[in-house]
Amino acid sequence: MPYDPHSSAPAHHRLELDGRSRLVVSGVEEVERFDENEIVMSTTEGTLIVVGEQLHIDKLTLDGGELHVDGRIESMSYVNESPRGGLLSRIFR
């Protein structure tokens, strides 16, 4: 199912890990930041953080909502967004 940013229905979110060297993520809405050790992306299921070594974005199709990553993948985790905001918003109230 291709990602449509104007659709009210969320795109299908899927993770496919081949060994620990290739990752395909669907349902990607935005890549927030990346370097060779970490990729942070917004997906239809929340913020996903991929940690590893020599990470490389091989393919990114935002109109299709798909991201391909090569490298040594050490972990993947979803971040729960705080309803009250982040640390800085709590400090500067």
Q: Let me know: does 68 contact 59? Beta carbons within 8 Å.
A: yes
Residue where the block lists tokens 């290739």: 22
Please give the CATH topology (third level) of the domain spanning 14-91: Immunoglobulin-like (2.60.40)
The amino acid occupying position 15 is L
How many Cβ atoms are within 10 Å of 57's Cβ, its own excluded?
14
- Tens digits of per-residue pLDDT, 57-90? 999 997 889 999 999 999 999 998 655 555 555 4
Distance CA 50, CA 40 (A): 7
- Tens digits of per-residue pLDDT, 3-61? 455 554 556 899 999 999 999 999 999 999 999 999 999 999 999 999 999 999 999 99
Cα–Cα nearest to 56, from 28, 34, 75, 76: 34
